[in-house]
């Protein structure tokens, strides 16, 4: 029985990898429309591709709000080495037709693409990626996500050409970070 489970798991992994490879060269599709007012607020990071700027972080979340000029204020927070760390940035919508493509900047002159590639109808979860497929985040309104939703998003990401074997779940053990 154990050998069958291992073989099935290995085959599933190969299938997901093949799906990602087949879609990797296609243009990255975003969701058809994002209501920015509904998208604003707090999002917990459920899983992501490891990035240097998040190394050692746990309890990671982002908060989005609007400033008076139509820009989105981005506040990323996490716990690192026992301390609450915050990175402040700004985002601009680059595709006004869908609102699904944004450009985010934390430090001038560097910016990055933030494309919303999956979004729950009730805005309870989202998945964000970069068209080069080197960045991927699974986000949720709550610190935990059920396995069925998570597995669905992993399959969606693979179908969009992301190597989901790189996904690492984010530790979200602390109840709430104290607002700074």
Distance CA 91, CA 83 (A): 26
**pLDDT in the model for residue 98:** 97
**pLDDT in the model for residue 177:** 46
For residue 40, the tally of other CB atoms under 10 A from its CB is 15
Structural domains in the chain, CATH included, are 2-169 (2.40.128.20)
Distance CA 180, CA 33 (A): 32
**pLDDT in the model for residue 14:** 55
Distance CA 38, CA 121 (A): 10
| Rounded average pLDDT per 10-residue block, the chain, 180 residues | 52 53 75 97 96 84 92 93 92 96 85 95 98 97 97 98 96 60
What is residue 166's DSSP assignment?
G
**pLDDT in the model for residue 103:** 95
Provide the token pair at 60.
């990671």
pTM for the whole thing? Answer: 0.82
Q: In this structure, is the dihedral angle defined by the CA atoms of residues 112, 118, 119 and 124, taken in order, positive or negative? A: negative
Residue of 163, 139, 161 whose CA lies nearest to 150: 139
151: Cβ–Cβ under 8 A, 6 or more apart, which residues?
none
């Amino acid at each position: 029985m154990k050998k069958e489970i291992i073989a099935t798991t290995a085959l599933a992994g190969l299938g997901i990898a093949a799906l990602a490879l087949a879609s990797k060269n296609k243009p990255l599709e975003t969701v058809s429309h994002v209501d920015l007012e509904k998208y604003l607020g707090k999002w917990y990071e459920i899983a992501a591709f490891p990035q240097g700027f998040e190394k050692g972080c746990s309890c990671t979340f982002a908060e989005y709000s609007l400033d008076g000029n139509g820009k989105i204020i981005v506040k990323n927070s996490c716990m690192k080495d026992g301390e609450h760390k915050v990175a402040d940035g700004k985002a601009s919508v680059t595709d006004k037709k869908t609102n699904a493509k944004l450009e985010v900047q934390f430090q001038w002159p560097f910016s990055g693409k933030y494309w919303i590639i999956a979004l729950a109808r009730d805005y309870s979860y989202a998945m964000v990626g970069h068209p080069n497929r080197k960045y991927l985040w699974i986000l949720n309104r709550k610190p935990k996500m059920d396995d069925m939703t998570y597995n669905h998003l992993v399959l969606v990401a693979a179908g969009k050409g992301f190597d989901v074997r790189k996904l690492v779940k984010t530790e979200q053990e602390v109840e709430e970070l104290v607002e700074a």
